[in-house]
Amino acid sequence: MKPIPAALTIAGTDPSGGAGIQADLKTFQELKTYGMSVITSVVAQNTTGVQDVHHIPEHMIEQQLKSVMSDIPFQAFKTGMLANPGIMDAVAEKISELNVLYIMDPVMVTTSGDTLISEDSRDYLRDILLPMSTLVTPNMPEAEVITGEKIDTSEDMQQAAKQIVHEFGADAALVKGGHLQDEAVDFLYDGKMMHTFSTERINTKNTHGTGCTYSAAITAYLSQGCTLSDAVQNAKDFITAAIRDSFPIGNGSGPTNQWAHRAERVN
Ligand SMILES: Nc1ncnc2c1ncn2[C@@H]1O[C@H](COP(=O)(O)OP(=O)(O)O)[C@@H](O)[C@H]1O
Ligand SMILES: Cc1ncc(COP(=O)(O)OP(=O)(O)O)c(N)n1
């Protein structure tokens, strides 16, 4: 019998439902992948920004991981918000036991400008977790932090993707261009080839949770057995539809719409 596609997200929460664990689980569900979650931080946030944060004690993060890992098999997992070195350490130790695909969304700062990980975590993220990853998905500011280089152009993005693989040890890197002005272009470097994924830029302020939703969609497609470049292309179609049909709700940057792809996808 074919295994049931299943995926795990290890991340922080968003009670307003647009980002973090909530966005990941909605995306897994929408893409017919059995979704599971380990919560690292409870974040009081909404479309306008972050109001407060409570970090889950490390022993409880480890216990959540043990509970899932000892019971239900999954083909892929992703990490999102890992707020400090203690949390990263707890996660690194448990995931080193896994032999499944690992998608790292190196969450650092939200669109609203709130910092989600401490300054001293950045080196740990780059030096310990990143080399364990099958794919890392930085946006342009995150790629700048990882590489230490300024990234302004699509040439800089491609250079950063290569550097993240060859110098810092990820199997593959997807540098996302949501922060570019004209085009929404992302570059995937898999250690051999550069792949380009491009769409027109949609004029909207409702992009809360785009990075979470995109990396969750990649994780779901990988759990179903897609190749890396197919998983990214399918996920790019998914996130583009979700942004195009995003929800104009809340007082700030509204959330993306995970069910928008249904109208556009021909199965
Ligand atoms: N306004 C937009 N129009 C179309 N695609 C976008 C837009 N903003 C972001 N994207 C796409 O959404 C995905 C997430 O990118 P990005 O916004 O850079 O991530 P993050 O949320 O981590 O900052 C990428 O594929 C990016 O190209
Ligand atoms: C708990 C949590 N994790 C990650 C983010 C950042 O989400 P992202 O998808 O990068 O998009 P923005 O929210 O920054 O638009 C978050 N807000 N909360």
Domains contained in the chain, number: 1
ipTM for this prediction: 0.97
Question: Ligand 2 center to residue 19 CA distance, Å?
Answer: 5
The structure's pTM equals 0.97
For atom 19 of ligand 1, the residue with the nearest CA is 211
Structural domain including 125 reads: 6-262
Ligand 2 centroid – CA 9 distance (Å): 14
d(CA 148, CA 67): 38
209 in catalytic set = yes
User: Confidence class of residue 179 from pLDDT cuts 50, 70 and 90?
Assistant: confident
115 beta partners:
109
Q: Which atom of ligand 1 is nearest to the CA of 210?
A: 21
Residue 115, domain member (yes or no): yes
Other C-beta atoms lying within 10 Å of the C-beta of residue 254: 20
Q: What is the pLDDT of residues 221-234, one digit of tens each?
A: 999 999 999 999 99
- Of 47, 79, 134, 210, the catalytic one is 210
Q: Which residues pair with 180 in a beta bridge?
A: none
Residue 209 falls within a domain, yes or no? yes
pLDDT at 264: 53
- For residue 1, being part of any structural domain is answered with no
Give the CA distances from residue 193 to residues 174, 188, 190, 213, 244, in Å, rounded to whole numbers and listed in that order. Answer: 12, 8, 6, 25, 29
pLDDT at 267: 40
Ligand 2 atom at minimum distance from 212 CA: 9
Is residue 267 one of the residues assigned to a domain? no
| Residue 250, CA distances (Å) to 46, 115, 238, 240 in order | 8, 21, 22, 21
In eight-state DSSP terms, residue 81 is -
CATH of the domain at 11: 3.40.1190.20
Does 207 participate in catalysis according to the annotation?
A: yes
Active site residue 40: no
Q: What secondary structure letter does DSSP report for 143?
A: H
